[in-house]
Structure 1
Amino acid sequence: MKIAAVLASLASAGAALAVPVDPRFPDSGPFKMIVLAYEQPIHYSYVKASGGYFYIGKETNSTCGDVEPVLDGPNSAGALSTYGNGKQNTQQAFLDISGAAGGIFSYIGPLYSSTTPDHVTDKFTRVAGQDISQLYYEGGDWLACPTQTEGEYLVYADKAYGHEVGKDKCIPFEIRTDKVDDPQVCEYL
C-alpha cells in the first residue's frame, strides 16, 4: 500500500513538472514591461522611458518615437539593459539609490553616461511561471509614484524606496514581462 502511494505521488509530481511554460512569457530574451495593479487606473499600462527614467502614463522619448521600451535580460549577474541587438544602442538599466533619487528605476541616457556606485545594476531577476513572467528587483515588486502631471507616475523599486515621505501616495504593482519576437533597436532619450 505504501509503495503504491509513493509511486502515485512521484507520478503526479513528474506530471506537474512536465507542464509547459507559455512561450509568450519566457525568463530570458527581449521583453516589454506591462503593469499589473488590479483595480487601479494603471493596470495593464506599459512602462515607458523618457529622460533617463521609467514612467507609467508618459510617452516614451526615443529614436523610434513613442514606443514601449524593449529590455533584455537580466543576465546571470542580474544586470538589465535595453535591447540593442548586441552591437549598438544598448543602454544599462539600473536603480538610482543616491539621496534625492531614492530608488528610482532609471537607464543610462541623457542624465548619465555611465553608472556610479549609487547606481545598482545587478539585483534584477526575471521569473517565468506557467502563464506569466515577471521582473523583480531584489525579489520585490514596484511602486508607481505620482508626478506633478495628472495620470503620470515614476517607477521605483519597493525594496529600494528611499524617500521619507510620499510612499503612501504610491501604487504598488508588479511588472509582467511580455516576449518581443522582432524587437526594434531604439535609443531612449
Structure 2
Amino acid sequence: MSSQSPSETGDSNRHTAFFYGTLMAPEVFFTVCYRSSTTDVKTLKSLHEFKPAILHGYCRRRVKDADYPGIVKEDNHQVRGMYVNGLTDANMFHLDAFEGSEYERVTVKVRLLEKVGDDKEEGNVEGDEVDCSVYVFVCPNELEDREWDFEEFRTQKMKRWTREDYGFEDAEHFSTKQVDEGEKEAAV
C-alpha cells in the first residue's frame, strides 16, 4: 500500500481517513456520508474499504455527557480504529460538518493492522504506514479520564445514530462488494 496522499497521485478528490469513534461503525459512516442517498447500499459499500489500523502518539477519551470520544496527542499511547479509503470531497464535507467545531481535521500517519490483537492491543501485527486525515478533539478539558468503549456504543447507543436501511450483517468485518463502474459513478 502506498503512503502517497491523494494530491501526490493526481486524484485530489479522493481522500483517506482514520476513524476511532462512532464512525468506525459502517452504519454510522454511511448515515453521515450518504444520509439522503437513494443509491443501492451494495453500490455504496463498494466505494470504500474499512481496514483496522492504529494511531500512535494519541489517546482516546470519552467526551463528557456524550456518546462519542475525542483524541488528543499523548506520548506512549495508541488508538485502534479504522482506516477508510475512497472518500470524495463530498464525503469530507459531510464528515467536517458532522464533527463540527469540537474537532480539527489534521493529517497523521497510521499503521494498518495485518492482525488485530485483544482489547489491550496485545497481539497486534502492524503493517504498512499510510497518511490520512483524522479529527482531533480541540477541548481536552471536556474529556473524561477514561477510555471510550466502542462495544458499549455499538450495543446500547448506535441505533440513534443511523438510518434504518443501513443495516450491515457482519459489520465487524466490513468488506467491499463488487459492482460495475456505472453503478459507482452514479453513487457519487
In terms of Rg, which structure is larger?
1
Higher relative contact order (CA 8 A, sep 6+): 2
Q: 1 or 2, which has the higher helix percentage?
A: 2
